[in-house]
Amino acid sequence: MKITSSICRSYCSRAGLLAVILTLTACSMAPPTPPITPTSAEPLVLQIFTYDSAPITQVLDLMTTRFKQAHPEVTITIVPISSDPVQQLAGLAKSTNPPDVVWTIDAVTPSLIDAGLLLDLNELASIDASFKRDDINPAALAAGNGQNSHGLYMLPAVMESVQMFYNKDMFKAAGAPMPTATWTWSDLTAACKLIQAKNANMKCIGYSNQIMPDPSWWAYLVPWIKGYGGDVLSADGKLSTLSSPESLAGIQAYANLWLKDQIAATPSQKGNCFAVARCAVVFFISGGVSSMQTHIGDLFDWDIQLMPAQPKGRFTGTGTYGFGILQGAKRRQLAWDFIKQLATPELQRLILKQRVGMSVLKSLANDPALDSNGKAPLNMQAFIKGNEFGLAPRAYPAVCGNFYSGIVQSAISQAFIAVLSGSAKTDEAFKQADKAIQSCLDSVK
């Protein structure tokens, strides 16, 4: 079924996953209004506050189709996220017609909880015998909790890890070995130099095209920091440690893909270089597979492999997005009926088959829906295997933001851009980032 928009057209600066990389800051709100019981004369409309772009909309289409089979009388409308999601939702929550279902992601959920915008789903879940909590991956469930909360505020839709997409034809033509599950970054760098020697005016690795986050995205940068023995925060979360010697070594090694080895495309590059065979490697999530299949078609053969390892181990970013219910939702039960589908094998199997995300259910870890049936990519299991060395985003106080927005995101992004542009040395740039973040951390002690 087509989902209609009730407010405005989608606001998205990039496609695919970039629908989730927008500005976000913590905010406060007035006490939520109590649920409103609709009269029998009112039409049944379920409003969903979400980004209106793939792969999120692809998952919503699957949910809506199944939901309408049981509730044909209900109209589904989209309330597009068009600005800071916390601030926008806080304003909508005070209106006479607030949304019911709320899209959220692991790093954003704490800010929504702190603002009092999300309903604790535990009560609805505990009285619903059809809801099977035990089959949901515990790490995915944990993404629906706040930093200091034991509630359940989000039902996970997908559990993702960033892995390597590579052009098999381009590797073969250059005489480069095919990537394996034991590769290091030294292996990939050597292969990339062979590929670039055969392809003039092309960089091997694409980081900055339209369906990809920019190079400072935490799921790219933080694995390098961890891979050299560093971290973004101290164990107790009280100190920003971006400028520790270990962290700086990882950041510098990552920056050297551009500055020294020159195998990565410039951040200003536009377009999907991988889909048109203008780069040989990109790093992304399984939710991007469907789009890649559509754009690549039969142009070349390609596959997925695990993220290469750094000196201290193999690391990659993981993440979970899903849906919750607004604290002041008019139709809580209908909203619950809509989102609880995310815990069913039937819906999760459809998500797998459509290649718009990896299942959050333990029972589907080896489901036949993962089989490629001879169609690229063959190695979808890399996304499951990759969770074994995945890094979840570290939590910061809501007032400081997170890896997607606010002080934390801006400080890190500005520092890395300064390094790549040559306007600052790595240690100088990230000492400044630490200073900005530490100032915020100190303010909430």
- pLDDT for position 5: 37
In this predicted structure, which of 8-22, 72-86, 88-102 has the lowest mean pLDDT?
A: 8-22
CA distance 369 to 372: 8
Whether the pLDDT of residue 290 is over 60: the answer is yes
Q: Which residue has the higher pLDDT, 398 or 38?
A: 398
> Could you tell me the pLDDT band of residue 7, with boundaries at 50, 70 and 90?
very low
Tokens 């009280």 belong to: 238
Q: Where are the alpha helices (DSSP H) in 360-401?
A: 381-385
- Buried/exposed 359-378: b ≥16 CB within 10 Å, e otherwise: bbbeebeeeebbeeeeebbb
d(CA 51, CA 104): 10
Non-local CB neighbours of 415 within 8 Å, separated by 6+ positions: 216, 242, 424, 429, 430, 432, 433
* Residue 285 to residue 357: CA distance in whole angstroms: 8
Task: Give the pLDDT score at 28.
Answer: 33
Per-residue confidence (pLDDT) for residue 406, from 0 to 100:
86
CA atoms within 13 A on the CB side of 65: 12
DSSP notation for 303-324: EEEPPPBBTTB--EEEEEEEEE
* CATH number of 163-316+395-443, picked from 3.40.50.1820, 2.40.30.10, 3.40.190.10, 3.40.50.620: 3.40.190.10
Q: Which pLDDT score is estimated for 270?
A: 64
Mean of the pLDDT values across residues 56-61?
96
Terminal Cα distance for the chain, rounded: 49
- 25-34, 85-94, 155-164: least confidently modelled range: 25-34
Q: Are 316 and 162 in contact (CB under 8 A)?
A: yes
| Share of residues in the chain with pLDDT > 70 (%) | 88
Return the residue matching tokens 């219910």.
Answer: 325
Report how far apart, in Å, the C-alpha atoms of 324 and of each of 12, 71, 113, 121, 155 are: 21, 19, 11, 8, 6
The CATH class of the 4-161+318-391 domain is alpha beta
Could you tell me where in the chain the CATH 3.40.190.10 domains are found? 4-161+318-391, 163-316+395-443
Rg for the chain (alpha carbons), in Å?
A: 22
The tens digit of pLDDT for each residue in 316-338 reads 999 899 999 999 999 999 999 99
Residue 49: φ, ψ to 5°: -90, 110
pLDDT at 241 over 50: yes
74 touches 44 (CB < 8 A): yes
* Amino acid present at 262: Q
CA distance 2 to 88: 24
| pLDDT over 90 at 263, yes or no | yes
pLDDT of residue 208: 64
- pTM listed for this prediction: 0.85
- Pick 235 or 214 by higher pLDDT: 235
DSSP single-letter state for residue 393? P
